[in-house]
């Protein structure tokens, strides 16, 4: 992809590259910070990648593992099948993990969108939340429910 | 968080962020082209924004591309805006935008 990336997000997390990598690739851990959604794959390059969506049965985000290089680099393609995004081709997500003194610098690059992409709009809202929830989960053990999942949040708050 | 507020307190730095918001992934040269600031000033402001993590950079060949990184601003929102206020605030800001456009 020679075109310049559309989105580059960076977050610093007080953790280790190994833990951050595990959090990005473990179903159990991702569930804790991804508003109940979770990743599923055997993480072999070329294998399917699925982001199971807690609110959309049978409409998971699908893709393919492009790179798996623990604990430094992870990449997969990304294709939602809901909310009017089902016609769009796959975009690409790359995670870069670097130790930075006692913190980890996590860079997320998401690119390869079609012109006028709805996925692009959705992810620009989604990633900042997922990343700050991941930070909160790794630093304090608690992830955060996305505010636009407010029905779920009320239910969780009621149950807690 | 101090670094974020300090970085945002300067109008030139906010202008740089506005320019990245309009066109993400610019080089230093591109950013300098349309600004009434010296190259050194732009470069210094970008370094402060990068240190506050409001700007993220990626290298592409010999070029360094600058991106608006919304994550720290999102964290500020998360700290003071409650879960259930989010949709009410969104409604208010949509209303403000709609009314202000209507006035033109």
Q: Tokens 């949709």 belong to which residue? A: B87
Q: What is the pLDDT of residues A45-62, one digit of tens each?
A: 999 999 999 887 778 999
Q: What is the pLDDT of residues A69-94, one digit of tens each?
A: 999 999 999 999 988 898 899 999 99
Displacement of CA A30 from its chain's centroid (Å)? 8
Burial readout A69-105 (b: 16 or more C-beta within 10 A, e: otherwise): eebebbbbbbbbeeeebeebebbbbbbbbeeeeeebb
Contacting A residues, span 94-113, partner chain B, CB-CB under 8 Å: 107, 109
CB-CB under 8 Å, A6 with B58: no
Per-residue pLDDT at A121: 87
Per-residue pLDDT at A147: 66
Nearest CA in chain A to B54: A10
Interface check for B56 against chain A (CB to CB < 8 A): the answer is yes
Per-residue pLDDT at A154: 46
CB-CB under 8 Å, B24 with A132: no
Per-residue pLDDT at A153: 46
What is d(CA A86, CA A79) in angstroms, rounded to the nearest whole number? Answer: 8
> Residue A6 pLDDT more than 80?
yes
Distance from CA of B16 to the nearest CA of A (A): 16
ipTM: 0.75
If you average pLDDT over residues B48-59, what whole number do you get? 95
A123: enclosing H helix or E strand? helix A118-140
CB-CB under 8 Å, A132 with B53: no
Interface check for B58 against chain A (CB to CB < 8 A): the answer is yes
Distance from CA of B71 to the nearest CA of A (A): 5
Q: Supply φ then ψ for residue B81, to 5 degrees.
A: -105, 120
CB-CB under 8 Å, A128 with B74: yes
* Angle subtended at Cα A49 by Cα A147 and Cα A150, rounded to the nearest 5 degrees: 10
Give the number of other CB atoms < 10 A from CB of residue B81.
Answer: 13
Confidence of residue A2 (pLDDT cuts 50, 70, 90): very low
> Residue B42 pLDDT more than 90?
yes
Rounded to the nearest integer, the mean pLDDT of chain B is 89
pTM as predicted: 0.83
Question: Of all residues in chain A, what percent carry a pLDDT higher than 70?
Answer: 89
Interface check for A14 against chain B (CB to CB < 8 A): the answer is no
| Top-confidence residue, A122 or A40 | A40
Question: Of all residues in chain A, what percent carry a pLDDT higher than 90?
Answer: 64
Nearest alpha-carbon partner for A33 in A127, A151, A157, A150: A127
């Amino acid at each position: 992809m020679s075109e310049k990336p559309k989105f580059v997000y960076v977050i610093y997390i007080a953790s280790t590259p190994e833990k951050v990598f595990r959090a990005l690739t473990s179903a159990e851990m991702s569930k804790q910070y991804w508003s109940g959604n979770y990743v599923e794959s055997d993480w072999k390059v070329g294998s399917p990648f699925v982001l199971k969506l807690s609110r959309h049965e049978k409409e998971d985000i699908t893709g393919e593992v492009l790179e798996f290089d623990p604990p430094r680099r992870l990449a997969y393609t990304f294709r939602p099948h809901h909310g009017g995004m089902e016609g769009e081709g796959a975009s690409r997500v790359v995670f870069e993990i670097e130790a930075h003194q006692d913190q980890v610098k996590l860079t997320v690059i998401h690119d390869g969108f079609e012109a006028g992409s709805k996925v692009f709009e959705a992810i620009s809202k989604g990633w900042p939340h997922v990343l700050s929830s991941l930070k909160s989960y790794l630093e304090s053990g608690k992830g955060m429910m996305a505010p636009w999942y407010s029905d779920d949040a009320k239910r969780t708050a009621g149950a807690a | 968080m101090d670094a974020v507020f300090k970085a945002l307190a300067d109008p030139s730095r906010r202008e740089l962020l506005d320019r990245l918001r309009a066109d993400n992934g610019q080089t230093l040269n591109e950013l300098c082209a349309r600004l009434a600031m010296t190259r050194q000033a732009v470069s210094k402001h970008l370094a402060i924004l990068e240190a506050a993590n409001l700007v993220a950079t990626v290298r592409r060949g010999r070029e360094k591309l600058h991106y608006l990184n919304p994550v720290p601003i999102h964290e500020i929102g998360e700290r003071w805006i409650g879960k259930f206020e989010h949709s009410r605030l969104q409604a208010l800001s949509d209303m403000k935008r709609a009314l202000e456009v209507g006035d033109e």
